[in-house]
Every structure is written in C-alpha cells, then in structure tokens.
Structure 1
Amino acid sequence: MKIKAFAIMEKNGKAVPFEYERNVGANEVRVKIIYCAMARGDVQFISDHWGDTRFPFVPGHEIVGIVEETGAHVTALKVGDQVGVGYQLEACFECDYCKAGLEQFCPQQKVIAVHSYGGLAGHIVVDYRFAFLLPPGLHPVNAVPLLSAGLTVYTGIMRAQLPPHAVVGVLGVGGLGQLAIQFLHKMGHEVYAFSHSPEKQALIRQLGAEYIPGSGADDKAAVNKPFDFIISTLSVPYDPDVYLKMLRPQGKLCLVASPQQKQPLSLGLLYDYAQRTIYGNYVGSRRDMTAMLDFAATHQIESMVEVMPYSHADQVNEAIDKVSNGKVNVRLILENKA
C-alpha cells in the first residue's frame, strides 16, 4: 500500500508531504499511527548529527498506534491491538546477539532514520516482534516517550545493578532525564538532578528528585555524600571529571547521550584509589522493553507531554522548530488526526 508521510528531503531541510510503497510481509504488522513524538534525536537526525541519516528521512522513532493488518505468520498480535513501536524495527533473529536476547546489537537490524522511515506518517510497517502491546495501566499519549527514551534510560540504570537505596544523580532534565528521575525514584533510590534551569526545581521535586544547580561542583557539600551512580542525558559540552570525582570508588557513570564535540577526560579518576566505571547504553532488547513497560505501568511512570496535530507540513515544521529551539520543556507529541 501507499503510505502517506512527511519527510525531510535533505540535510537541514524542511518537512514536505511524501509517499512510499510498503506491503506487509509474513512476519510484519501494519500499524495505524495515532501518536508520534518529536524528540531531540529526530532534530539531530535532520541535521545528520551522527553522519548516517538516510534522506528522504521520515522523522519519529517513538510511536503508538493500532494494528490494522497482520502478516500470515503473526499470531502474537491481532487487528485492533494497541501497540508501541520504538527506534528498532527489525532484527535477523539468527546471529549470536539475537540468540542471546540482545537484538539491539544485531548486525542486520533496521532502525528508523538509518534504514527505515519513521512515524510521522499515517502508518508504519514493522516486524511484529518490535511492536509491543501497551499495558492497560499506561495512557497512550503519555507513554509514547517510553518507547525509546524510556527504554534507553531504564536499560542503562538496570545495567548498573545498584544496591538498595543508592545515592544517584541525573544530569539534565529533558525528556531522557525526566524519565530517568522517575525510574530511579520508583526503584527506591535517593535521587538528585543537576540542571542549569532553576525554573525546573518544582518539576524536579514533583518527579522525585532533589535539585542541584549547574554542574553541582560548588554544591556537592549540600549533598554531603558520594554517588553510587550518575546517568548523563546531556547533549551539550560538559566536564566529565566533575562527576567522576563525585562517585564512590566503585561508582558508575552511564552515558545515554553525548555532545558532538569530544570531551576531555582524566583517566586517572577511574583507577586512582578507585575502580570507577564509565559505560554507554544503546536502547535495549525486546525483553528490556517489555520489562520497562511493565515497570512503568505498575509505578505509573509517564511523560509530561504537549500535544499538537500533524495533518499538514506546516504543523510538522512548527514542531521541529519548537524542539530545535528549546521552546518546549516537556515531550512534544504529534497526534494523527487523519
């Protein structure tokens, strides 16, 4: 069938109406899109931030919709099911990574922006194994950011294997940071959020964290204890040394975003009277996604959102502009009114 969408035709271009042909394979489902996020990552793909965007590019890698058609081999989903779709749309299910349940590292995977078109469209076709039933406890529009941002921070946190009641920090309080605070708080940890935006203090406390202004370098005394874990959601330049010094000797720093510029790092902070760890996290597996959605539903973890329609290109370009210029403090969700 022909799928109507909005695409960016070239680097830093504007969204325009776009159509492409896509039929449903034996292991695939066609999803009518209801909600799609416009996230910072989509804006970075538009500017080809990572150098791997395929143009024409249909943005949108956090999607909620309704199954409209199922392939011949699909039994786990049925027409009418409400599902969420994230960044990854396919895997081979035959390589060592897939057999180990680590489909996100599959060399043959297909992801939005690099291999496939995204969610700013009327429909999307996806391998049914990457269309996830939404637990009934989640509100569909508020659950949209869980499908990528939520999965990324949740998996990064779980990899830390934190002790009970750990002292943890979150760098940045955008879409990723807001979800990280909620997950850590509901897991029972003592959460601090570092932000250069004083106006976010009330929001930070509402989400379950204590506010620390700026880098926290001058305010560590207010915390008066070392951190077990810090997760960085920052995509602007910062000094990693400041946060490594805040960690316990066996503390961990997790990166789920990074600035385009290289950042300086004093390697001695990892081993000088210490066994500190820095690691990154890239989305998560299907098993991680299911666990994250269940945890979010159980603990009522959702994103604060602003909703806009996307029936024509002007609305899409307005949404891109708002995210690009930091005009929204919550996750921007586009609603398909067609």
Structure 2
Amino acid sequence: MRAEPLEIKEVPTPTPGAGQLLVRIEASGLCHTDIHAARGDGPARPTPPFLPGHEGVGIVELVGPGVTEHTTGDRVAIPWLGHACGTCDYCVTGWETPCEAQQNTGCSVDGGHAAFALADARYVVRVPEGIDPAEVAPLTCAGVTTYRAVKVGGVSPGDRVAIFGIGGLGHLAQQYAQIFGGETIAIDVTEEKLALAKRLGAAHVVNAATTDPVAAIEALGGADVAVVLAASPRIIEQAHASLRRGGRLILVSSPKGSTMALPIFQTVLKGIRADFAEVFRLHAAGRTRVMVEPRALDDINSAMEDVLAAGVPAHLLLLP
C-alpha cells in the first residue's frame, strides 16, 4: 500500500535540554533511509509523528545546560547516530555505532528536514571552516559511509575497484577509491551517471543495462574490491561474481527484503563514526567533489519520488 505524503507543518521551535544543542538547519541531504523511515517500509520504523532527515548541517543557535563541546555560532553536522548509552561495551571502547540503546536522527529522534533541530552535543561533528554546508550535508552520511567502505575494503594502489551503482553514494565511493590509489570501474544502468563517473576519473565504465558487468570486469582481470551501493540482491550476486580470487566484497546498501544469497558467505560491515574528521579533511583539501541537486524542503514528496525512481544523478539536498 502506498504511503501517505509527508505533511509540511509549522511546529514550535524546540528548546535544548541538558547536553543538547538547537541547530538552525542550512541544508539537509535526502537519503534512501529517510524515505524508508517516512514510509515505514524499512528495518527502522519510527512512530509518527516525527521529523525525518539524518544529514543535517547548520549553525548552533542555543546551547543547553552542561554543554562544553560546542558554542553558539559553530557550524555542525548532525549524523545518523544521534545518541548512544555511553556505558555498554561498545561505547566504552569508542565504537558507539553498534550500541543497542542508540537513538537515530530522523527516526527515533527528530531529524533535520526542518528549519531547526535538536541534537545531542556529544554526537554532532564540527564542520571545518571554508566548506559549503550544501556539500557537507551528503558527507555526513553518504560520504562517511562510502569512505569507511573503501577503507575497510583495504583498497591500495593498483587495486581494481568496481563501484556498483553511481549516484549519491557511488560518486563519492569512486573518488575515495581513487584517493586510495585504486583503478575504478563504474557500473550503472544510466548513461548520465556513467558520464559523471568518467568526469570524476573512472578508468572504466560499464552500462549494466546493455553489457554483462561480470563478463566486462572479468575481461579486465576481475575486481580486487567490489563496493555495492545498489539494493538489488541480483547486483550483489554480480558484484561477488566479478571478484578475482582473494577479492573483497563490501556491502553498503541494504538488500531489498533484507536478505541476500551468496555462494560462500555473508558479510556485514559496521562502524563509521571515527571517520568523520578524515572525510571532512579530504573535502576541505579539495580532494573530493560532492555533486548535489538542491530542492526546497516544501517539495520533499516529489524529491522522494525522484530518488526512488533513480532520477537524480547525484545527491539530493533539501533547503529550508
């Protein structure tokens, strides 16, 4: 059954409590996870009413009692991990992302698709000077997630890296793989996205709508690393089949139905929070380009439809 459209409403501006910040949102990226949360068809199912959005960037307007990490006027990014317990085994070892008591921005706590948002001061990330907030928003999720994928994949100079799905995440994964020294192969079904991959330095492109990607990659000698950004289980299987012996399969997307079948094993990669500083430093140094398409926040419903229809070549951004 089709979900009801989101409502654009005026609500009271919240007041920060102890340990919280009130952030005036400048830009908020639209991620597939936001759409699944809004429609209640993903693994994370929030209870309405709620405000989606976990790629918010903005200026600290008010500081709640006890906050020492940030001050009024700071520009911060509000990521998916909105809060963690701080006392479990994961948290005390600095690996909060698997915390079973975590709260997630735009899901279990209100997010950034709004003019203002509350945030836990311990989990927002300060944005370096000189970076456009419209470019930071996608880095808050798409950037740090794909950077972590490439890093965990052990990409090293000379590795052939196949990127399955060029778009809001894929165009960043490709750039990070190239920064690590990889020879990138971009795989997608639209020529517009493959043209983007070429502009960003892909060594090879494969249109999977007209060419068998497994055969094309095998003809190049196979992939040392395959990074999957598409949600189709079939694409995951193709990525696995494209690997050379000893290759690494890195899954970033969540497969439709939350299941996948591989002939050898399943791999789940977790833990991304510690990589924010590196992602922001790379962008501040001009090493990455973030391709965004801005839309008004009032147009969120049509924006969601365009993302689901793969009608946006890069990352869609919502502006209050």
Tell me the TM-score normalized by structure 2. 0.90
Which secondary structure state, in structure 1, belongs to the residue aligned with residue 157 of structure 2? coil
Q: 1:46 to 1:19 in 2, by over 3 A?
A: same
Which secondary structure state, in structure 2, belongs to the residue aligned with residue 199 of structure 1? helix
More deviation in 238-247 or 191-200? 238-247
Residues 93, 99 of structure 1: 8 Å contact kept: yes
- 2:57 equivalent in structure 1: 64
Matches of residues 61-210 of structure 1 in structure 2 within 5 Å? Answer: 61-209=54-202, 210=204
How many Å separate the matches in 1 of 2:23 and 2:250?
A: 34
- 2:289 equivalent in structure 1: 302
- 1:243 equivalent in structure 2: 239
Residues 184, 191 of structure 1: 8 Å contact kept: yes
AA in 1 matched with 2:16: V
How many Å separate the matches in 2 of 1:11 and 1:92?
A: 35
Q: 1:79 to 1:113 in 2, by over 3 A?
A: closer
Specify every segment of 5 or more residues in structure 1 that has no aligned partner in the other structure, as ranges. 1-9, 271-277
- 1:52 equivalent in structure 2: 44
How many Å separate the matches in 1 of 2:67 and 2:42?
A: 34
- 1:334 equivalent in structure 2: 318
How many Å separate the matches in 1 of 2:33 and 2:181?
A: 29
Q: Which of 18, 23, 28 is the matching residue for 1:26?
A: 18
Residues 256, 282 of structure 1: 8 Å contact kept: no
- 1:219 equivalent in structure 2: 216
How many Å separate the matches in 1 of 2:289 and 2:56?
A: 14
More deviation in 321-330 or 30-39? 321-330
AA in 2 matched with 1:104: T
Q: CA deviation at 1:175?
A: 0.9
- 2:30 equivalent in structure 1: 38
Q: 1:12 to 1:39 in 2, by over 3 A?
A: same
Q: How many residues align?
A: 313
How many Å separate the matches in 1 of 2:311 and 2:190?
A: 14
Tell me the TM-score normalized by structure 1. 0.85
Q: 1:79 to 1:189 in 2, by over 3 A?
A: same
More deviation in 287-296 or 187-196? 287-296
Return the structure number with greater strand share: 1
AA in 1 matched with 2:226: I
Q: CA deviation at 1:20?
A: 6.0
- Alpha-carbon deviations, 1:144-187, whole Å to 9, x = none? 11101111111122112233332111100121111101111122
- Alpha-carbon deviations, 1:197-246, whole Å to 9, x = none? 123332111122121221512313542x2322111001134154433233
- 1:273 equivalent in structure 2: none
How many Å separate the matches in 1 of 2:311 and 2:246?
A: 39
- 2:261 equivalent in structure 1: 264
Specify every segment of 5 or more residues in structure 2 that has no aligned partner in the other structure, as ranges. none
- 1:15 equivalent in structure 2: 6
Residue 279 of structure 1 pairs with residue 260 of structure 2:
no
- Alpha-carbon deviations, 1:50-102, whole Å to 9, x = none? 24321223221111100011123222211111111111111122211111111
Q: 1:11 to 1:102 in 2, by over 3 A?
A: farther
AA in 1 matched with 2:98: F
How many Å separate the matches in 1 of 2:6 and 2:229?
A: 27
More deviation in 318-327 or 112-121? 318-327
How many Å separate the matches in 2 of 1:78 and 1:58?
A: 24
AA in 1 matched with 2:79: G
Residues 233, 260 of structure 2: 8 Å contact kept: yes
C-alpha root-mean-square deviation of aligned residues, in Å?
2.2
- 1:7 equivalent in structure 2: none
Residues 168, 316 of structure 2: 8 Å contact kept: no
- Alpha-carbon deviations, 1:268-321, whole Å to 9, x = none? xx6xxxxxxx53334612x222222222322432321111222x4xx2223223
Which secondary structure state, in structure 2, belongs to the residue aligned with residue 219 of structure 1? helix
How many Å separate the matches in 2 of 1:243 and 1:323?
A: 23
Runs of 4+ with >4 A deviation: none
More deviation in 116-125 or 234-243? 234-243
AA in 1 matched with 2:282: F
Q: 1:122 to 1:242 in 2, by over 3 A?
A: closer
- Alpha-carbon deviations, 1:126-147, whole Å to 9, x = none? 1112221112242211221110
How many Å separate the matches in 2 of 1:99 and 1:162?
A: 29
